[in-house]
Structure 1
Amino acid sequence: MKDSLGAPQSLLVLGGSSDIAMSTARKMAAARTKKIYLAGRPSQRLEDNAAELRTLGATVEVVPFDAAATDDHDKVLSQVFATDDIDVVLLAFGVLGDQAEDEKDPARAVAVAHVNYTGAVSSGIIVGQALKKQGHGSLVVLSSVAAERARRANFIYGSSKAGLDAFAQGLGDSMVGTGVHVMVVRPGFVDTKMTQGKEKTPLSTTPDAVADLIITGLRRGSHTVWAPGAFRYVMSGLRHVPRPLFRRLPM
């Protein structure tokens, strides 16, 4: 449960190797979040992240979790909720894919969609019901500005995030009155290991900056967070650009 000042005491990260998730966990651990579950595919990076959070005073448990292995989600996540009361769940896993290569190979395209959308639906439903049973808690879902309108340059990734975004919004609406808060986070280009080597776009940001917005959004009870905030207005305009013109934009 949250402490007397409203600070979350426990955090479950789905995608514990994510740079944005790690920045968020680091900031929460440095405040008053004392129990953190890092769920992800076993790796040295996941173990290193756990070790770093422990140096900040948090009790950290590493949970083997594969977003693509949806048949295992119920068992893995149910064990976490059976062990602890969870204040915040951060759904941070996802793959960018390689648009040029994925267009040539349906299996590669499906793999992107399976992790980003199907994996999120599976784990999101399980987490939502677990939080509802608790009667409290927040689910933070990392979406993307790419969800707002699919672009030629990354329509496979963008469409998977569009599905995730719509799912998370609907899940949030279904939880009204249950004590459960769902917050959708829509970052633009974030300088992470996933985007390493790619050309930065206007309004690019950092994991730390996104983490600050996530924490502020949780404190305010926001349902949508744009990172940075200017994207709210940029994407509002792009949604209404006629398709023939949109196709010619250098995006």
Structure 2
Amino acid sequence: MPVTFDVHGPDGAATVLLSSGLGGAAAFWQPQLPALLAAGYRVIAYDQRGTGRSPGTLPAPYTIAHMAQDVVEVLDASGTAACHLVGHALGGLVGLQLALDAPGRVSSLVLVNAWSAPNPHSARCFDARLALLAAHGPRAYVEAQPIFLYPAAWCAANAARVQAEVDHAFAHFPGEATMRARIAALRAFDVDARLGSIGVPVMVAAAMDDTLVPWTCSQRLADGLPDTTFERVPHGGHAHTVTDSPTFNAQLLAFLARAGAGRLV
């Protein structure tokens, strides 16, 4: 079954493709969509295979390379030669893989709280989340999710919104097998030794209070990639694209203006 995607904005404009993190949903990018459209970009957002509107059985063993191939298929189906790919966490890994596997399809990358190789802290977090899923099921798993996504103060101040997100995640949980396959794919990802071969402009964006992914993983990306803009914020958590969207959106638009240089892709 093909991956479900949405295309927003004018034909012929530079295309920004938005790739979400572990949740996989296009809706994650709602805080960015108005700003990108107001700036004149054509925007593609998609539900990753096995999530949301893109159900289906995942190949085994499932890899980030499979996810990058899905992006190629989305680009082909939407008549898009190349894109500026914006990826959050797992979505950033997809962008890195795509830039390695099909460099002609990527004009620039934006990597948000992403990484190039495994690290022991994130491994501990995923071990705990998987143990919770195994012992207590999907409801407990999704109830814990905001702890890893958002700062505590933001969760407390936005309690109703956070609970609504948790309830939605539970109602649309993709199943334990799919979740385990997706987590295994991101945990196996390691392109650290290949960063120097990625030739497109990259914006690395990190929140220094990210609970799930140490901001030093973003520092490693910034150090290893040849053409990098590194944007750090002190606060905002793993999903600072949501908790501080005005700051992130301003950084994103400034980078895209430089990286796009008016090209129509």
Q: TM-score w.r.t. structure 1 length?
A: 0.42
